[in-house]
Amino acid sequence: MLRRNFLKSAVLGSGALLTGFPLLSEAAVPKLKITKIRYYAAPGYNKPLFNQARGIVEIETDGGIIGIGEGGSKDMIEQCAQMMIGENPFRIEHIWQNLYRGMFYPPGREKLHAQGALDMALWDIKGKALGVPVYELLGGATRDYVECYATGFRASKAKTEEERAQDCLKAGLRSYRIGPTGGNGDQPFDFYQNARKTIEFCKRIDAAVGGSGNWAIDLHTRFDTTEGVKICKALESLEPYFVEDIIRSENPDVYKTVRQMTTVPIAVGEQFGDRWDSNNFIEQHLIDYTRFTLPNTGGISEFKKLASMCETHYVGMIPHFTGPLATATLVHVLGSSSPARALMELGGGEPERPPYFNDDFIRFNNGKLYLNPEPGLGVKFDPKKATFVMEIASNTKFPHPILKAPDGSIHNW
């Protein structure tokens, strides 16, 4: 049993006493194997407008250490999990590459969500095994905290959006984000009228919070180029923190035109996945902020590479909020990334705290998110409070062969 091989030395032994987690010896760590992967549904979560999965995954090892992640659909988790049984969980990049390249077609964004959940869990395992938080594995802290902005502000009792924005800033958050007028589905969306109303709405919010980047707007890809650019031109003198999703994002080259027609800070990317989705936007300086997030990118492993691309091209990172565990994980990643500008989104102005996670899994104070120093992601999961869906067990055999180069690296099948 690997548990009997835990190092008893003064260094690791004292670490185990401090963290409460058993620490593996240097010899034992490489022998860990993934034995089971379980998938749970998040109870009470039903948002048909978004295909953003909120399932919870557990990866169990033969050393008794269990890692948790968030995201992915049942079908995609099942396919990926079958490719991971028997693997060494410490070979995180190797596993990521196999999941990404091991099937004939490149993964779509739904599969990347599943990879992202499983990748989170692998980093959680590694941190727990070594007795350190994930941000230490990623190079150590580069920030004391991560600034946040609010999309809506539940704590406010105000009856107007202007007053809610003011309450948001008083609570310590960096900025208040609004959306365009219209788009509730009950009435036809008139592009011309809603462009004009959106501009007037922005002026009222700007006056209420005193400008200075204290507000931002997401146009939700609702407008065509004409109206989207019209809104941006009208907002330039107001200097919003950013204008998000000005037009639809299927064709990145459209932003070459938009970039030349406005000076507002542009944010794009919440619908994107891996670095190949964002490469043109970043390298061609078509945007000022990325909105890619977890688990959409494929996990911590891929997000770190995207963060390096952003640093190289002086692009900031404003991840879209997804689930509570993904939010907690983003603090580890942004808190250990380059000092390029970073900002996190909080729906309602505060982090979500579901009953199946421990109360202090996310450290939030005065509108800011702080690094969690506990081993791994610092999140404890109670499966009894979630809905069990499936388990991929140790006897599962995935029939697809793996194509490797002579040096053992993974190649496309």
pLDDT of the residue at 54 = 86
Q: State how far the Cα of 181 lies from the Cα of 193, in Å rounded to an integer.
A: 9
In a shared domain, residues 55 and 162: no
Q: Which of 83, 44, 112 is nearest to 294 (CA)?
A: 112
Residue 140 phi, psi dihedral angles, 5° rounding: 90, 165
Residues whose CB falls within 8 Å of the CB of residue 222, separated by 6 or more in sequence, listed in order: 180, 182, 183, 189, 194
- The pLDDT of 105-111, averaged and rounded, is 88
Q: State how far the Cα of 99 lies from the Cα of 114, in Å rounded to an integer.
A: 10
Spatial contact of 260 and 266, defined as CB atoms under 8 Å apart: no
Write down the mean pLDDT value for the chain. 89
- The pLDDT of 391-408, averaged and rounded, is 80
CA separation, residue 340 to residues 176, 178, 335, 336, 384 (Å): 21, 24, 11, 11, 40
Structure tokens at 218: 């997401």
Task: Let me know if residue 8 belongs to a domain.
Answer: no
pLDDT of residue 226 exceeding 90, the answer is yes
User: Quick one: DSSP state of residue 376?
Assistant: B
Task: Let me know if residue 363 belongs to a domain.
Answer: yes
pLDDT of residue 4 exceeding 50, the answer is no
Q: Give the range among 175-179, 184-188, 289-293, 377-381 with minimum mean pLDDT.
A: 184-188
pLDDT of residue 394 exceeding 60, the answer is yes
Q: In a 10 Å sphere around its CB, with 0-12 CB exposed, 13-18 middle and 19+ buried, how is residue 251 labelled?
A: exposed
Task: Let me know if residue 105 belongs to a domain.
Answer: yes
User: pLDDT digit string (tens) for 260-279?
Assistant: 999 999 999 988 889 998 98
pLDDT of residue 395 exceeding 50, the answer is yes
In a shared domain, residues 100 and 207: no
Q: State how far the Cα of 23 lies from the Cα of 8, in Å rounded to an integer.
A: 9
Spatial contact of 137 and 126, defined as CB atoms under 8 Å apart: yes
CATH number assigned to the domain comprising residue 61: 3.30.390.10
pLDDT of the residue at 30 = 58
In a shared domain, residues 216 and 345: yes
Residues paired with residue 390 on neighbouring β-strands, in sequence order: 39
In a shared domain, residues 182 and 292: yes
Q: Which of 264, 267, 319 is nearest to 293 (CA)?
A: 319
pLDDT of the residue at 115 = 97
pLDDT of residue 211 exceeding 50, the answer is yes
Band of residue 104 on the pLDDT scale cut at 50, 70, 90:
confident
pLDDT of the residue at 49 = 46
In a shared domain, residues 86 and 223: no
Residue with structure tokens 């006056």? 207
In a shared domain, residues 80 and 218: no
In a shared domain, residues 122 and 243: no
Q: In a 10 Å sphere around its CB, with 0-12 CB exposed, 13-18 middle and 19+ buried, how is residue 171 labelled?
A: middle
User: pLDDT digit string (tens) for 166-188?
Assistant: 999 999 999 999 999 987 767 78
User: pLDDT digit string (tens) for 307-325?
Assistant: 999 999 999 999 999 899 9
Task: Let me know if residue 164 belongs to a domain.
Answer: yes
Number of H helices, E strands in the chain: 12, 14
pLDDT of the residue at 11 = 35
Q: State how far the Cα of 214 lies from the Cα of 153, in Å rounded to an integer.
A: 14
Task: Let me know if residue 405 belongs to a domain.
Answer: no
Residues whose CB falls within 8 Å of the CB of residue 36, separated by 6 or more in sequence, listed in order: 58, 59, 60, 85, 391, 392, 393, 394
Apex CA 242: angle with CA 271 and CA 161, to 5°?
A: 100
Secondary structure (3-state) at 127: helix
How many domains are there within the chain? 2
Band of residue 21 on the pLDDT scale cut at 50, 70, 90:
low
In a shared domain, residues 250 and 162: yes
pLDDT of the residue at 186 = 74
> Prior bond to 295 cis, omega within 30?
yes
Q: Chain-centre distance of CA 99, in angstroms?
A: 19
CATH number assigned to the domain comprising residue 149: 3.20.20.120
Q: Give the range among 21-35, 107-121, 288-302 with minimum mean pLDDT.
A: 21-35
Secondary structure (3-state) at 55: coil
R_g over Cα of the chain:
22
pLDDT of the residue at 22 = 58
| Helix (H) / strand (E) containing 267 | strand 266-268
pLDDT of the residue at 9 = 39
Residues paired with residue 392 on neighbouring β-strands, in sequence order: 37
pLDDT of the residue at 47 = 59
Question: Do the bridges between strand 34-41 and strand 56-61 make them parallel or antiparallel, or are there none, so unpaired?
Answer: antiparallel
In a shared domain, residues 195 and 142: yes
pLDDT of the residue at 50 = 53
In a shared domain, residues 196 and 288: yes
Q: State how far the Cα of 220 lies from the Cα of 348, in Å rounded to an integer.
A: 17
Q: State how far the Cα of 213 lies from the Cα of 369, in Å rounded to an integer.
A: 19
pLDDT of residue 354 exceeding 70, the answer is yes
In a shared domain, residues 117 and 262: no
Which amino acid, one-letter code, is at 327? T
In a shared domain, residues 252 and 143: yes
Structure tokens at 392: 């991929």
Which amino acid, one-letter code, is at 177? R
Task: Let me know if residue 270 belongs to a domain.
Answer: yes
pLDDT of residue 206 exceeding 80, the answer is yes
Task: Let me know if residue 301 belongs to a domain.
Answer: yes
Helix 300-313 × helix 324-334 angle, to 10°? 50
Task: Let me know if residue 364 belongs to a domain.
Answer: yes
Q: Which domain range does residue 115 map to?
A: 32-130+383-392
Q: DSSP H helical segments within 142-295, as ranges?
A: 161-170, 191-209, 225-235, 254-261, 275-283
Structure tokens at 316: 């900031």
pLDDT of the residue at 367 = 97
pLDDT of the residue at 178 = 97
- The pLDDT of 277-287, averaged and rounded, is 91
State whether the Cα torsion 243-248-249-251 is positive or negative. Answer: negative
Band of residue 2 on the pLDDT scale cut at 50, 70, 90:
very low
pLDDT of the residue at 411 = 85
